[in-house]
């Protein structure tokens, strides 16, 4: 099996859009605009690796996944996925990938009114699985995702979390060698999010598949990815483990304090950015260089019961990075 | 070519349609009312032994019942879902699957229609029963199945036409107006309103392929097409079908170059 699952060189995508003014007059004054979505990005993903792909809305994350899945043809660049050129959409390529799109699944589209099992049977035939393969893979996924009790229930009668689990199971049924997950935990409660992350990790461990995951929940990236790429306005601005990225993009430290009695918030604001405060407990973000000084002030001037100093998590780091970058 | 994905898609769509059996049943009124209403019109025109273009009242009533069943049950506008998917980006869901989009949607479309065909057949039989003194069964038993066979190939042709029109969404986004207008024209050209051979400019209407969706199978049923003509007509129909499918595939390829997948 080829070691490199995804190889992208100088990938560029430009969208066309029509811009018009508001109201009826806008119908007459329209102009075409070219919007660069990806400006020549390059990266690789190895088999067995989970890559986190992060960035703000409009950074180009979903566009990249669409190109890798063969749904979009780029204007420039060289892309090889599992050894194929994606937009030629050869059967061997399509059989090897699975693209889980944010907010819409295959089964929702075609078997919305039918029992879950009918949806799985459709996937079996779409991907040409033998009866034996289908039963073996399905049994495994039913156990992994806890679906046994809902196999006979029409998809539309399931909760959002259940549907997400069904769609993910359907996306793994043919044992893809590359998983492209676009916001897989969007709209799920914390328990379902954690469970879903566990499923993905377990699938990659068992099968050696590669996975690219985008998410706005940095917890997904921290939990899943060994490596992450940070994308901003169509360009990769950083690469590293989630921990490295958090350290690189944050010049701040997090001070968590529990007080013996209620204290005024105004005094605390002088130390740094007050992230959380309820009178008795506070989370303060302070510049790294001023950590010692702030901790000393807290201990000397406030009735401190407990104090911890932490490095910020990826979410806090990215928030401060994008705030500064404007 | 693998047939299983398409047979499964057909089955799944039939199952989905049958989940709403009341909706299918309501279709009966659509099949029953127009032929009964039109009967009174033709009785006024052709009563008293009069004829029009070789049709007496019985021939016209039979034509209308048979052609109405064929035309009303042909997917001349394919499925608006095809253009909606292009517009809102859901097409990407299908582009990443190892299936042929045309065949997949043909199967889904046929699967959705099958319950309506059964209902339409029941409705047509009921109308024929009510108007039994005017409805003529074919003199030769083979004419029914042969008419049905021509119509089934015509259905694929009708789908290819509607499919291609929906693909215009790659360029215009909103195709409902174009598809609606083309659908109305195709119903007329298929002989859904009046027999094409009694119209002026009949050579034009009879040259176009839409006649195979309604008028021609009805002519076969009525005994107005000799057996010797059938192989030639079948060749012509298959030729048109090839052209329509090739056209649909070409538009699909060109359209994909324009596809941006916005929305999903």
User: Who wins on pLDDT, B234 or A276?
Assistant: B234
Q: Decide if A156 touches B, using CB distance below 8 A.
A: no
Interface of A with B in 48-107 (CB under 8 A): 62, 66, 69-73, 89, 91, 94-95, 97, 99, 101-106
Q: Do B95 and A70 touch (CB under 8 A)?
A: yes
| Rounded CA Rg of chain A | 24
Query: How many Å apart are CA B229 and CA B252, to the nearest integer?
Result: 35
B103: chain A residues, CB-CB within 8 Å: none
Q: Tell me what the pLDDT averaged over chain B comes to.
A: 89
A105: chain B residues, CB-CB within 8 Å: 93
Distance from CA of A273 to the nearest CA of B (A): 37
Give me the DSSP letters along B220-237: HHHT-S-GGGHHHHHHHH
> What is the average per-residue pLDDT within B93-108?
93
> What is the average per-residue pLDDT within A63-85?
94
pLDDT at A147: 87
Asked if residue B173 has pLDDT above 70, the reply is no
pLDDT at B185: 86
Best residue in B5, B8, B96 for a mutation probing chain A (most A CBs within 10 Å):
B96
Count other Cβ atoms within 10 Å, centred on residue A135: 12
> What is the average per-residue pLDDT within A71-89?
94
Asked if residue B156 has pLDDT above 70, the reply is yes
Q: Decide if B9 touches A, using CB distance below 8 A.
A: yes
Indicate the residue of A72, A94, A109 with minimum beta-carbon distance to B93.
Answer: A109
Residue A141 belongs to what H/E stretch? helix A131-145
> What is the average per-residue pLDDT within A179-206?
86
Query: How many Å apart are CA B66 and CA B222, to the nearest integer?
Result: 9
Q: Which tokens hold the place of A267? A: 């005094």
Distance from CA of B92 to the nearest CA of A (A): 5
Distance from CA of A127 to the nearest CA of B (A): 7
Which among B59, B69, B29 has a CA at the least distance from the CA of B192?
B69
Q: Please identify which residue in the block is written with the tokens 């582009």.
A: B95
Q: Tell me what the pLDDT averaged over chain A comes to.
A: 87
Q: Decide if B1 touches A, using CB distance below 8 A.
A: no
Tens of pLDDT along A226-242? 999 988 889 998 898 88
B93: chain A residues, CB-CB within 8 Å: 101, 104-106, 109
Asked if residue B96 has pLDDT above 80, the reply is yes
Q: Which tokens hold the place of A284? A: 């303060």
Indicate the residue of B9, B260, B264 with minimum beta-carbon distance to A104.
Answer: B264
pLDDT at B261: 78
Q: Do A97 and B93 touch (CB under 8 A)?
A: no
Closest B-chain CA to A183: B264
Percent of chain A topping pLDDT 70: 94
Tens of pLDDT along B11-27? 999 998 888 888 888 87
pLDDT bin (cut points 50, 70, 90) of residue A65 is very high
Asked if residue A208 has pLDDT above 60, the reply is yes
A14: chain B residues, CB-CB within 8 Å: none
Which value, to the nearest 10 degrees, does the dihedral of the CA atoms of residues B256, B258, B263, B264 take?
A: 30
> What is the average per-residue pLDDT within A162-171?
88
Tens of pLDDT along A259-312? 999 988 888 888 888 888 888 999 888 887 888 899 999 999 999 999 988 876
Distance of CA A246 to the CA centre of its chain: 16
Query: How many Å apart are CA B9 and CA A111, to the nearest integer?
Result: 10
B8: chain A residues, CB-CB within 8 Å: 121-122, 125-126
Q: Are A45 and A210 in contact (CB under 8 A)?
A: yes
pLDDT at A1: 54
pLDDT bin (cut points 50, 70, 90) of residue A107 is confident
Q: Do B259 and A104 touch (CB under 8 A)?
A: no
Biggest alpha carbon distance in chain B? 63
- Let me know how long chain B is: 264
In whole angstroms, how far apart are CA B45 and each of B52, B60, B135, B218?
9, 10, 17, 21
3-state secondary structure of A238: strand
Best residue in A125, A131, A176 for a mutation probing chain B (most B CBs within 10 Å):
A125
Least confident of A130-134, A281-285, B75-79, B80-84: B75-79
pLDDT bin (cut points 50, 70, 90) of residue B264 is low
Residue A84 belongs to what H/E stretch? none
Asked if residue A50 has pLDDT above 90, the reply is yes
């Amino acid at each position: 099996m080829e070691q490199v699952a995804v190889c992208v060189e100088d990938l560029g995508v430009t969208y066309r859009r029509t811009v018009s003014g508001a109201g009826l007059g806008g119908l007459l004054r329209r102009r075409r605009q070219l919007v660069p979505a990806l400006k020549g990005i390059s990266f690789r993903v190895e088999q067995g690796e989970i890559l986190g792909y992060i960035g703000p809305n409009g950074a180009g994350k979903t566009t990249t996944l669409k190109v890798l899945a063969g749904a979009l043809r780029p204007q420039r660049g060289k892309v090889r996925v599992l050894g194929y050129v994606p937009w030629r959409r050869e059967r061997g390529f399509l059989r090897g990938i699975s693209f889980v799109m944010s907010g819409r699944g295959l089964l929702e589209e075609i078997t919305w009114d039918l029992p879950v099992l009918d949806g799985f049977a459709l996937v079996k035939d779409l991907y040409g699985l033998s009866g034996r393969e289908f039963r073996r893979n399905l049994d495994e996924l039913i156990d992994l995702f806890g679906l046994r009790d809902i196999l006979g229930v029409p998809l539309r009668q399931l909760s959002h979390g259940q549907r997400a689990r069904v769609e993910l199971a359907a996306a793994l049924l043919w044992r893809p060698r590359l998983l492209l997950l676009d916001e897989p935990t969007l709209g799920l409660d914390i328990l379902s999010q954690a469970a879903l992350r566990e499923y993905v990790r377990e699938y990659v461990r068992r099968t050696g598949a590669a996975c690219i995951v985008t998410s706005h929940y940095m917890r997904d990236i921290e939990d899943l990815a060994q490596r992450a790429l940070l994308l901003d306005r169509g360009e990769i601005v950083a690469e590293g483990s989630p921990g490295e990225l958090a350290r690189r993009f944050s010049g701040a430290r997090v001070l968590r304090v529990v007080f013996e009695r209620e204290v005024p918030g105004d005094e605390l604001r002088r130390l740094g950015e007050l992230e959380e405060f309820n009178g008795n407990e506070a989370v303060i973000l302070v510049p790294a260089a001023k950590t010692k000084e702030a901790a000393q002030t807290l201990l000397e001037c406030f009735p401190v019961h407990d104090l911890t100093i932490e490095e910020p998590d990826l979410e806090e780091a990215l928030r401060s990075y994008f705030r500064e970058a404007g | 070519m693998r047939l299983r994905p398409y047979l499964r898609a057909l089955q799944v769509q039939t199952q989905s349609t049958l989940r709403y059996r009341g909706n299918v049943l309501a279709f009966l009124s659509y099949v029953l009312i127009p032929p009964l209403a039109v009967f009174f019109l033709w009785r006024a025109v052709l009563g008293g032994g009069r004829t029009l273009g070789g049709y007496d009242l019985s021939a016209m009533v039979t034509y209308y019942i048979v052609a109405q069943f064929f035309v009303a049950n042909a997917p001349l506008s394919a499925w608006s879902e095809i253009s909606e998917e292009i517009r809102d980006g859901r097409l990407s869901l299908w582009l990443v699957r190892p299936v042929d989009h045309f065949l997949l949607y043909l199967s889904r479309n046929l699967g959705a229609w099958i319950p309506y065909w059964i209902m339409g057949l029941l409705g047509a039989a009921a109308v024929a029963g009510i108007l039994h003194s005017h409805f003529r069964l074919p003199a030769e038993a083979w004419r029914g199945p042969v008419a049905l066979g021509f119509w089934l190939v015509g259905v694929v042709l009708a789908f290819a036409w509607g499919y291609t029109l929906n693909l215009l969404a790659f360029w215009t986004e909103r195709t409902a107006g174009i598809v609606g207008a083309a659908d109305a024209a195709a119903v007329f050209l298929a002989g859904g309103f009046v027999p094409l051979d009694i119209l002026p400019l009949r050579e034009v209407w009879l040259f176009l392929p839409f006649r195979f969706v309604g008028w021609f199978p009805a002519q076969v049923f009525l005994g107005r097409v000799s057996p010797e003509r059938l192989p030639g007509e079948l060749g012509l129909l298959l030729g048109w079908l090839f052209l329509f499918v090739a056209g649909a595939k070409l538009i699909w390829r060109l359209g994909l170059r324009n596809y941006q997948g916005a929305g999903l």
